[in-house]
Amino acid sequence: MPLDGLQVRHYLLLKLIGSGGMGEIYLARDQRLDRQVAVKVVRSDLVLENDEEQSAKFYRLFQREARTISMLDHPHILPLFDYGEVSHNEARLTYLVMPYHPEGSLDIWLRKSGKTTPFLYWLLPRSFVRLPTRYNTRMNGISFTRM
């Protein structure tokens, strides 16, 4: 369901900029702070409207995930500005608000810049694993130091 032009609290959804398994991402205008943001709207079919117990459980898990994201502080992780749930045409819309970067996702940026390597994809998911010894790896002119 296209949501372009929809007002979600103080966020005006301007246009669809991405989609994935969990939902759709919209470029939006934060009307309180007059800035562009990215709003991820969770797919409505993931929230069981007719099952209040499952819907409440989903929202509790979503809140826990939002709180967990908000506690992360790392230069390579986007901060969470806001999250919530609103009703629209008798459907519940659950959303996350993060900074908007016109470059797109890390995956898109890596592909455009030509820096995508199987090694880099191997490394990124493990970037927060702390290893007991230090070692250096050099591949494609990029040097990584692990601890």
What six digits make up the tokens of 146?
């692990």
Residue given tokens 């969770």 in the structure block:
42
| β 23-30/7-8 pair status | unpaired
Burial class (CB in 10 A: 0-12, 13-18, 19+), 75: exposed
The partner residues of 16 in beta bridges, in order of sequence, read 26
What six digits make up the tokens of 29?
């205008």
> Known binder of ligand: residue 115?
no
Give CA torsion, residues 79, 81, 83, 89, to 10 deg: -120
Torsion angles phi and psi, residue 55, rounded to 5: -65, -45
How far apart are the C-alpha atoms of 132 and 18, rounded to whole Å? 39
Q: Which residues are annotated as a binding site for ATP?
A: 40
